[in-house]
Structures are given as structure tokens and as C-alpha cells.
Amino acid sequence: MVDNGTKQTIETMKWVRWLWVVVPLMGVMLYLYYWYPEENIGPQQPIYFSHRVHAGVKQINCRFCHSFVDRSKHAGLPVMEKCFFCHKYIIPDHPQLVKEKEHYESKKPVQWVRIFYVPDYVKFRHEPHIAWGKVDCAVCHGPVATADRLRQVNFQMGFCINCHKQRNAQIDCWLACHH
Ligand code: HEC
Ligand code: HEC
Ligand code: HEC
Ligand code: HEC
């Protein structure tokens, strides 16, 4: 026979045993919920286009696809035809490229999900930043060349102003940056 004291100790020990299971489990759940890397990737695009593969592994120049970046307001997205400069020969049977091809042949542009934008009242042009300012794409867009899916960066006012101060660019923004 066991006395009450021992019984209690045994009960407690059962609980302690469970803690070994429960605590790590909660840890895993918290990790999955808050820190799991996938949690932080950008929106899924209609065609799984990867900057990591193209700009990273294959080292294709940003300007090959975003051709207007140093001469216009917008960097521009590549026209569908451009994909097939390469993909007519490279993995043309990849399911994602078959899908891209259907778009191309039916002339239905791919509806890429827009990631970076500034409010309408902000006047932003790429050209001066690239052509005169020599600002690297990654300063504003983050590590594009290592990302499969691009993540949004929040362009608060301070983001523009801080750099303009550092770089001695104009900060007379109410005149210059806003319409
Ligand atoms: C082979 C073509 C190609 C190359 C090379 C390329 N991109 Fe792209 N880029 C795209 C396509 C297609 C999209 C639209 C799909 C997407 O957002 O992933 C895009 C989207 C983007 C966007 C997001 C636009 C938005 O706001 O929705 C940024 C920023 C960008 N690219 C920057 C870069 C930079 C910086 C490089 C070089 C390091 C680069 N790209 C190289 C094809 C390319
Ligand atoms: C300058 C050449 C070039 C251009 C332009 C290009 N790609 Fe690619 N793409 C490649 C190469 C090289 C690979 C890697 C092929 C391999 O892994 O064998 C690739 C791989 C891919 C893959 C498979 C990626 C994976 O996960 O394995 C997809 C999908 C793709 N490209 C879509 C596109 C789309 C959509 C466009 C147009 C917006 C485009 N590519 C433009 C060269 C190009
Ligand atoms: C000084 C910051 C800055 C730099 C440097 C920069 N961008 Fe951008 N980019 C932006 C902002 C801000 C937007 C959103 C513009 C809008 O909403 O009109 C944007 C939008 C884009 C887009 C979306 C579509 C478009 O045509 O505008 C692409 C693609 C892009 N950038 C590519 C590039 C590439 C490639 C480079 C480097 C050669 C680059 N950017 C350098 C700030 C920058
Ligand atoms: C990383 C640094 C950096 C960031 C971030 C940045 N800029 Fe600039 N900006 C520059 C530089 C450098 C110049 C060119 C200055 C020169 O050479 O005159 C410039 C020039 C400009 C000009 C003047 C171009 C002209 O037409 O005369 C405007 C307007 C402007 N930026 C708006 C913005 C806005 C809006 C944002 C935020 C979305 C922004 N910039 C973010 C560095 C930056």
C-alpha cells in the first residue's frame, strides 16, 4: 500500500512527464505560427516565376526584363514574348511554361500580383534614382535575387526622406515628391 504523500508524488510525476511532451509541442506550434520562414514570403503569382532562379542562379540582368528602369518612370514588367526568347528552347514542357504559353497564344496577359507601390499622390520615378543616383535595386526592393517570391517593403515617407538626407538629394518633398 502507498500512503497519500507518495500517491501525490506519483500524480505530480505523471504531470511532469506530460510537460516533456506539451512544452516542446507548444514550442513547435509557436515556431510554425510566428517564425516559420514560409510565413514571410510574398504573394503567390499566377505563374510561379522565381527571381532566385533567373536573377540569382542564372545571373540574368535585371534590366533584361525590366528594360525601362533607367529611362522611365516605371521599370516595366517583361512582355510575355520575352519569356520565350529562352523558353522556346529551355524547359518548354515545364507545366508553368505551358501555362505561360497558353496566355501568350491567347493574348491574355498574365495578371501579376503587384507588390511594390507608392500611393497615387507620391511622385516616384525610377530614372533619376538609377541613372543619376546609382542606387542599387536591392536598397529599395530587398534581396530580390535570392527570393522565389518577392516580398513587399513598406515605403513609408521616412524611407524616401532618410535616404534623400543622407545622399543630399532634394528633400523639398512637398513640392517635388507630391503632386
Ligand atoms: C527573366 C526575367 C526577369 C529578371 C531577370 C528579373 N525580373 Fe523582376 N520580375 C519579372 C517578372 C515576370 C515579374 C512579375 C512577377 C513577380 O512579381 O514575381 C517581376 C517582378 C519584379 C518586381 C516587383 C514588381 C511589383 O511591384 O509587382 C521587382 C521589384 C523586380 N521584379 C525587381 C527585379 C530585380 C531587382 C531584378 C534583378 C536582380 C529582377 N527583377 C530580375 C521578371 C524578371
Ligand atoms: C534569358 C533567359 C530566360 C528568360 C528571358 C526567362 N527565363 Fe525562365 N528560366 C531560364 C533558365 C536558364 C531556367 C532554368 C532552367 C533549368 O533549371 O533547367 C529558367 C527556369 C524557369 C522556370 C522553372 C523554374 C523552376 O522552379 O525550376 C519557370 C517556371 C520559368 N523559368 C518561367 C519564366 C517566365 C514566366 C519568364 C518570363 C517572364 C521567363 N522564365 C523568362 C531562363 C530564362
Ligand atoms: C529608390 C528606390 C528604388 C530603387 C533604387 C529601385 N526601385 Fe523599383 N520601385 C520603387 C518604388 C517606390 C516602386 C513603386 C512605384 C510605383 O508605385 O509607381 C517600384 C516599382 C518597381 C517595379 C514595379 C513595376 C514598375 O514598372 O514600376 C519594378 C519591376 C521595379 N521597381 C524594378 C526595379 C529594378 C529592376 C531596379 C534596379 C535596376 C529598381 N526597381 C530600383 C523603388 C525603387
Ligand atoms: C536609397 C536612397 C533613396 C531612396 C530610398 C529614395 N530616393 Fe529619391 N533620390 C535619391 C537620389 C540619389 C536621387 C538623385 C539626386 C540627384 O542626383 O539629383 C533622388 C532623386 C529623387 C527625385 C528627384 C528627381 C527629379 O525628378 O528631379 C524625386 C522626386 C525622388 N527622388 C523621390 C523619391 C521618393 C518619392 C522616394 C520614396 C518612395 C525616394 N525618392 C526614395 C535617393 C533615394
pLDDT for the residue numbered 171 = 75
Residue 70 · residue 63 · CB < 8 Å: yes
Q: Find out whether the beta carbon of 83 lies less than 6 Å from any atom of ligand 2.
A: yes
Using an 8 Å Cβ cutoff, are 91 and 111 in contact? Answer: no
Phi, psi of 178 (to 5 degrees): -115, 145
Give me the pLDDT at residue 167, please: 87
Full-model pTM = 0.86
For 75-144, strand residue ranges (E) read none
Pocket lined around ligand 3, Cβ cut-off 6 Å: 62, 66, 69, 74-77, 116-118, 124, 126, 129-130, 135, 137, 139-141, 155
Q: Where are the domains of the chain?
A: 4-40
Tell me what the mean pLDDT of segment 23-49 comes to: 78
Whether ligand 4 lies within 6 angstroms of the CB of 97 is answered as no
Q: Which three cell numbers stand for residue 23?
A: 512544452
Report residue 145's pLDDT band, with 50, 70 and 90 as the boundaries: very high
Give the pLDDT band of residue 169 (cuts 50, 70, 90). Answer: confident
Distance CA 57, CA 86 (A): 15
Task: Name the more confident of 120 and 63.
Answer: 63
**Mutational test site, ligand 1, from 59, 66, 81, max ligand atoms within 8 Å of CB:** 66
136's grid cell: 542599387
DSSP 8-state symbol, 73: S
Give the Cα separation of 129 and 143 in Å (integer): 18
Residue for cell digits 536573377?
A: 55
Q: Determine the distance separating the centroid of ligand 2 and the alpha carbon of 100, expressed in angstroms.
A: 11
Report the mean per-residue pLDDT for the chain.
85
